[in-house]
A and B are shown apart, each in its own frame.
Chain A
């Protein structure tokens, strides 16, 4: 039975269960002389039966769908006498078996593979039938059980609410699951990477060239995994971005909060915030096709050498992207500074700019620093702009007119296309991902902490 049909049937069963519970409750109410003699409202009895019917079956089905492929694969591969030793070889063999079983492959398959393919398709159909039968039996059986157990004294509402509460808690834990998932996925692959490349070489090596030799005697593709050029590239692009974004963002926030009339604020603030809603791929296109050629021509006209993909172009555009981020965060903290501080300063005869520089900014500083730290973590993790405008060459350089590469660019180039999960080249992307995750996590943690501490002061 196909999975969608199965789901439809289950849904039908659940509806029937709801109807049964509901009507039994109504009948009981009628015979007892009114709704008030029931422990709960009829709809709760309906829900109670429906939950008994649907929830266990759905959980079973979900687990089945998640794990059946892996189990079937293990069963099929165990049945094969002489397996290839490498993981890649086994993957290839299994793909061949799958294609044969699905009827995509004709011609000369060895009898062993043919037998395995037959076994695979029989296991697959068996698994589908068993899954359908089990879940339908479970649903109807438990539904009938709940319907039979019905009594007007049953505290249906409380039971239903308990289940709902469990569902709410599970959803709230989704964030934890996600973090754990990220950590596990990045950590395991990174550990495998560090088995073939030492941590010290990765962290302190000056040469990055992830091409691995396909043959043992191949020249020129040694596979060097020294990530320092990537770190410096990332830092340079982020520094250029912050150099643009911090002064512009902060000054516009100050102007909007302290000087601008209501009308100017109502027009200028949304316009600047448009920049925050533009997708990064659009910025990347803008950086690569408009800003980078402009900078190259400008540099060439004053006699400087500039490559067509430069750190400056990427950093500049990334800075523009971050302006609204800094300005709206600073705007919030500046507005949170109590008016009495400003009044005090103005009353002592200082000008407005003196008030801003000597009173408002120092009072808002922790919040602003927090916002800037969040912006830095965003700049480090930004991908599309640098992929499209910064280049791929891992140069260890301090010249912003040369092309540099960043951590995120390398993750993308290593993982787009075909991957082998037993080569350090692919696994290196996960090690870089781990670095990225850890560094942004630390930055975020400090930033959130600073912001939170500051907020408590004036609340």
Chain B
């Protein structure tokens, strides 16, 4: 039937049909291609939005509003006669700051208003004065002009002024906003580089909070991870690639490694909690335990990349060394390993970058505690940068959003440096045989 109808068509009709069909096929081709371009664009857009969002939110945290105050180190207000450790510990620096604030705004009276006034300056400012006096004992009884960090509400208000005319007032009263405007107008309040962010540990007060403790915690954790996972991973790769006979046991190990690479990281946290903390009773929150857990987590990555590096060394190298009478161990350690090292190092850096960004398993082993002190060793309680980000992201203060984003920027820049160096290392040292 169909055949006969088709043969009845004139050549002209056939041609028209084919052209129609061809046009629709070409439309589909274009659509398909457009979908491909749209997908790529979506991916690139996601990267751009993510980064601009983080940078837009976080760049403010690198500056911090400060107030210029004439501070008089009055012995009477301080309640001390001389400068030593004991007297500094209980000297009334808060009183000194309040004194100079009252001096700056003499018109303020009444309890409520005064409390408003005092809250212009960070609650950490007395410690700044204490450190200053400890460093320069001759200042006692003298007056100096000093920049002191402003409270986080003030800081948020000042920073929002550049976005809108009104600014985000939040908890700041109209009167306080007026003082701030007055200080800004006379140049007694300025945004200055926020060095506190890089020198302090965590704090409940946003203007006092910094990432130093978290950075040191990350450093110690990564050191433990690197010290364990690189040698173990390389040794495992050497055995599997150069020695292992092809049998069931080796197959089992291989399947295991591939599976471990895809096990969710939080499960490693459960392992760490049950075995390292409950069974071996290692200290909680310690970089040592964090490093052990991350070692187990990064080991598959390092083993897989080290094996690839070993595989890339051509067999002729091994055969030549064997021919010269080297033992198998000597072949591996004197010839194959040095040639495979760049590839292994690249894998190790990528594994470390993975470990640096990991959060979930560390929550399980208690590295989520509120820790102010900078850790000094692998058994001190510590937190790490990603966990610090998690903790700050949960804090209600608006100023913490800014600091969270800034901490993310620091974390991302570390990751970018690590990944770029891995790529460069591969490019520079890689040998094509």
Contacts of B36 on A, CB cut-off 8 Å?
251-252, 254-255, 259
Which residues in chain B, 244-282, are within 8 Å of chain A measured between CB atoms? Answer: 244, 252-253, 255-260, 262-271, 273-275, 278, 280-281
- Do A354 and B25 touch across chains, with their CB atoms under 8 A apart? yes
> From B394, which residue of chain A is reached at the shortest CB distance?
A388
- Tell me, rounded to whole Å, the shortest Cβ–Cβ distance linking B243 to chain A: 7
- Tell me, rounded to whole Å, the shortest Cβ–Cβ distance linking A409 to chain B: 10
- Number of A residues contacting the other chain (C-beta, 8 Å)? 90
Which residues in chain A, 373-390, are within 8 Å of chain B measured between CB atoms? Answer: 374, 377-378, 380-384, 387-388
- Do B299 and A178 touch across chains, with their CB atoms under 8 A apart? yes
Q: Write 9 A-B pairs (CB below 8 A) sorted by A numbering.
A: A181-B296, A182-B263, A272-B47, A281-B386, A282-B357, A354-B29, A356-B32, A374-B262, A378-B262
With contact pairs A168-B243, A275-B43, A290-B53 given, residues A255 and B270 touching in the complex (Cβ less than 8 Å): no
B419 at the interface (CB under 8 A from A): yes
- Tell me, rounded to whole Å, the shortest Cβ–Cβ distance linking B193 to chain A: 24
CA–CA, A55 and B26, complex, Å: 72
CA–CA, A327 and B253, complex, Å: 28
- Do A381 and B267 touch across chains, with their CB atoms under 8 A apart? yes
CA–CA, A70 and B264, complex, Å: 31
- Do B40 and A268 touch across chains, with their CB atoms under 8 A apart? yes
Q: A interface vs B, CB < 8 Å?
A: 66, 69-70, 157, 161, 164-165, 167-169, 171-176, 178-179, 181-182, 184-186, 188-189, 247-252, 254-256, 259-260, 268, 271-272, 274-275, 277-282, 284-286, 288-290, 320, 323-324, 327, 351-354, 356-357, 374, 377-378, 380-384, 387-388, 408, 411-412, 415-416, 421, 429-430, 433, 436-437, 440-441, 444-445, 447-448
Residue of B239, B257, B264 touching A381 (CB-CB under 8 A)? B264
- Tell me, rounded to whole Å, the shortest Cβ–Cβ distance linking B161 to chain A: 22
- Do B274 and A271 touch across chains, with their CB atoms under 8 A apart? no
Residue of A157, A254, A278, A382 touching B412 (CB-CB under 8 A)? A278
- Do B359 and A279 touch across chains, with their CB atoms under 8 A apart? yes
Contacts of B329 on A, CB cut-off 8 Å?
161, 164-165
B358 at the interface (CB under 8 A from A): yes
> From A316, which residue of chain B is reached at the shortest CB distance?
B46
Q: Is the interface of A mostly helix, strand, loop or mixed?
A: helix
Q: A182-B263, A412-B364, A441-B259 are in contact. List 10 more A-B contacts (CB 8 A).
A: A189-B274, A251-B35, A251-B39, A256-B40, A275-B43, A278-B357, A279-B359, A352-B29, A383-B359, A445-B259
- Do A173 and B253 touch across chains, with their CB atoms under 8 A apart? yes
Contacts of B54 on A, CB cut-off 8 Å?
282, 285-286
CA–CA, A284 and B390, complex, Å: 8
- Do A255 and B256 touch across chains, with their CB atoms under 8 A apart? no
CA–CA, A298 and B43, complex, Å: 22
Stretch with Cβ within 8 A of A (4 or more), from B135-143, B168-176, B230-238: B230-238
> From A67, which residue of chain B is reached at the shortest CB distance?
B280
Q: Which of B39, B299, B364, B408 has the most CB of A within 10 A?
A: B39
B303 at the interface (CB under 8 A from A): yes
